[in-house]
Amino acid sequence: MTVTAGGAILHAPTAQAATTESASTSASTTKAAATAVTSKTTSAAALRAAKVARQKAKAGKAVAVAKKQVGDPYRYGATGPGSFDCSGLVQYAWKKAGVKLPRVAASQFARIRNKVSWKHLQPGDLMFFRGLGHVGMYVGKGKMVHSPRTGERVRIDKLGGWRRASFVGAVRPGM
């Protein structure tokens, strides 16, 4: 049997092969497009997971550095290493973890984009209190490390009722 296709004469087996080939090409193109979309989604998820893992590693280092400062005296405007004010302590700790933060508490809150609720705090998050007048670092298990005020030393405190009542917000540096 002979079939005419676009001016070319094809024998039946060739015509059938051409039809099958174009159908399979169409199917493989559709499959490739679906794979590309899935691949993009998968790679985006993988990139996000890697970014989160890097942030957690940096946060762990920042928490460790801040905890090592426990016992150092508070001094207004101090950024360490021997004494700290509240924002100087968290700036110092995150700097040691490789993340640059603004100097004062209000700027730290304003310029770090990743805002976090009380319910979603993770170690390394910066917690702000009293109208952005004080900052501490969440260390996990309902506690924070901070440099409280003149005459006091860097310490770890539980996050009790007063802290909850004066809580303004939190941010997650390093993202």
Q: Which of 58, 134, 163, 172 is catalytic?
A: 134
Domain count, the chain: 1
| pLDDT at 23 > cutoff 50 | no
27: in domain: no
| pLDDT at 37 > cutoff 80 | no
Q: Domain range holding 110?
A: 47-171
* Residue 11 among the catalytic residues: no
* Residue 146 among the catalytic residues: yes
Long-range contacts, 112-121 (Cβ 8 Å, 24+): 112/171, 112/172, 112/173, 113/171, 113/175, 114/171, 114/172, 114/173, 114/175, 115/169, 115/170, 115/171, 115/172, 116/169, 116/170, 116/171, 116/172, 117/170, 118/164, 118/167, 118/170, 121/170
Q: Which of 61, 146, 163, 172 is catalytic?
A: 146
- Average of per-residue pLDDT across 22-49: 63
15: in domain: no
38: in domain: no
| pLDDT at 3 > cutoff 80 | no
154: in domain: yes
Q: Which of 86, 89, 97, 135 is catalytic?
A: 86
* Band of residue 15 on the pLDDT scale cut at 50, 70, 90: very low
pLDDT one-digit tens code per residue, 67-100? 999 999 999 999 999 999 999 999 999 999 999 9
144: in domain: yes
What's the CATH code of the domain at 59? 3.90.1720.10
26: in domain: no
* Band of residue 49 on the pLDDT scale cut at 50, 70, 90: very high
* Residue 134 among the catalytic residues: yes
